[in-house]
Structures are given as C-alpha cells and as structure tokens.
Amino acid sequence: MNELELVDWLKRTVTSAQGLIVGIGHDCAVFRPNAGEDLLLKSDQLIEGVHFRSDLPPAAIGERALARPLSDIAATGGQPRICLVSLTMPQKPPAWVKGFFRGLLRLAHRTRTALGGGDLARSDRVYCDVMLCGVVPRGQALRRDGARPGDSLWVSGRLGKPWDRRIEPRLALGRQLRGQATACMDISDGLALDLHRLTKASGVAAEIERIPVARGVSIERALHGGEDYELLFTLPKNARGPRGTTRIGTIVRGTPGNMFFEERPLEPRGYDHFF
C-alpha cells in the first residue's frame, strides 16, 4: 500500500464535518470556524516503546493517539472539530494501517472530529502525532492559572487506572465546567505533578484531603502514576462538582506550587517525558 493508495482509501473512508471546506489530499486543510468562536490547538505524540507496547492492536493505537489530545480539548472546555494525523511506521500489512485508522476514525466519529489531513513517512518504529483543532465560545476557554485561595479542588473518575485501558476523554464534563471552574487541566502525568503545574500557574498552594483511587491500586500510584486522562479542576468555595466528580481538597495561600497530602508536603513527582 503506497502513499497514493492510502490517501485514496482515506478519502473514501472519512466523513466530512461542520466547517471543513477542504480536507484530505490538499496542501492544507481549510476550516471555517463560526463567528464568536475561539480556536483550540493541541498536538500529542504517541511513540512505540515510549507510550505504548509494540503488541498493542493497531486499532487501539489509533484510538489512543486521538484520545490523548481530545483529553486536552476536554480540559479546555472545547468541542473538537478537525484533526491532522502524522504517522511514521515500518512496512506493515495494509490491514495494520487500515486497523490503525479505523480505531482512530471510530473515536473521531463518536466525538464529531473530522480527519482533515496529515503526513506519512517510513521509519523503523511507529511514531504518531495527532494535531487537534477545537472550538470554544469566545473567551470561555478553561485554563490552568485561575485557581484562587478558598476554591475547592476536584477530580473526575478514579485515579491510578492501568495504562493499557481505553481512554474516555471527558468532553461533556469539560463543556459543563465552562463558566464554572476557576481552573482546569487534564491529568496526564499523575495527580501530583499536574496539580503542581496548576498551582504554580495560579500562584497558589493546595491541600489534598482524599483521593478517589481506582480498584486494586496504591495511593502512591494514584498520586504519581501517569495516563489518567481525568480532569483536575477548581470551583468557587461553595459550588458543587458535577456527577462523577470528587472533591479532593482545597486551594490555599502559600508558595506557588506547594502541595500537602494529609498534612505532609507532597513531592511534584510524576511522569516527566523529558528528563
């Protein structure tokens, strides 16, 4: 299956979407946002041997490659619109390539994301980078630097889940938090490291009182493991989190980035992809 054949197959397979004027097979995708929308842009890499094991089925790799940046669009309160897929891989049977794109396109369809283009190359391992463009009503993008002392601290779901499960990006929750959450981000590198980033960006400290831990895992893993893809957010003092979320603590005055768990200092240790 050469480049022209794959691109032809993709053109026949993908469905179009709101605002996509020019799609696969052109120099650029052309996208027309609605008036009053801000654009959200995110890219996320998925590399064989770094982010997934070589024996993961191709459809699961494709799904995961899109799920990760979708989680960031969720954390910003947005609606995904267009993705571009850069894929580098060794020679593989056509079934592998189609499996990868079928997994990705299934999730794309479910989240109303159009495949607008991408780039293909050959190398000795699978390397994928998905660029995602989403939209949010003007001025309503959630960000991580708005937490204030007295705010309550929340997470969705349970933390410390195994890496190889399916990721369900919290898109509906993110949209629900627009205009409600004072800060929001997704947990991709572990609660401790990501809360450190949120509190440092907001110029505050945090006290954690409890953590909703996934079945059968340690508190240690729930604190410092990565790949949760749940939302971490803050609400004004007396606001209540939506269904499926848990209050885990409180934002306090203090050295920006400082954290306490059960009254002891908590290290910002987690998954740093780059040390």
* 228 in contact with a second copy (CB under 8 A): no
* Part in contact with a second copy (CB under 8 A); list of ranges 112-120, 159-167, 210-218, 258-266: 112-120
Render the burial of 152-175: b for 16+ CB within 10 Å, e for the rest.
bbbbbbbbbbeeeeebebbbebbb
Q: Is 123 in the site for a second copy (CB under 8 A)?
A: yes
Instruction: Return the residue of 82, 155, 192, 205 that touches a second copy, per CB under 8 A.
Output: 82
CB within 8 Å of 82: residues ≥ 6 apart: 17, 19, 20, 29, 31, 113, 114, 115, 116, 132, 133
Choice from 18, 88, 176, 246 touching a second copy (CB under 8 A): 88
Radius of gyration of the chain (CA): 20
Please report how close the Cβ of residue 21 comes to a second copy at its closest, in angstroms. Answer: 7
- Please choose, out of 82-90, 209-217, 220-228, 234-242, the segment that lies near a second copy by the rule CB under 8 A: 82-90
* Under rule CB under 8 A, residue 3 binds a second copy: yes
Q: Is residue 40 close enough to count as binding a second copy by CB under 8 A?
A: yes
**What is the largest distance, in Å, between two alpha-carbon atoms of the chain?**
60
The two structure tokens encoding residue 174: 């993110």
Among residues 13, 15, 50, 219, the one that binds a second copy under rule CB under 8 A: 50
Contacts of 62 (CB under 8 A, 6+ apart): 99, 100, 101, 102, 103, 104, 105, 107, 128
Alpha carbon separation from 252 to 119, 202, 205, 237, 239 (Å, rounded): 46, 11, 5, 11, 16
38 binds a second copy, rule: CB under 8 A:
yes
- C-beta closer to a second copy: residue 91 or 238: 91
Which of 99, 118, 160, 249 is in the footprint of a second copy by CB under 8 A?
118
The type of residue at 33 is P
Binding site for a second copy (CB under 8 A): 2-4, 6, 21-22, 25-33, 35, 38-45, 47, 49-51, 72-73, 75-76, 78, 82, 84, 86, 88, 116-123, 125, 127, 129, 131, 133-134, 136, 138, 141, 143-145, 185-186, 201, 272-275
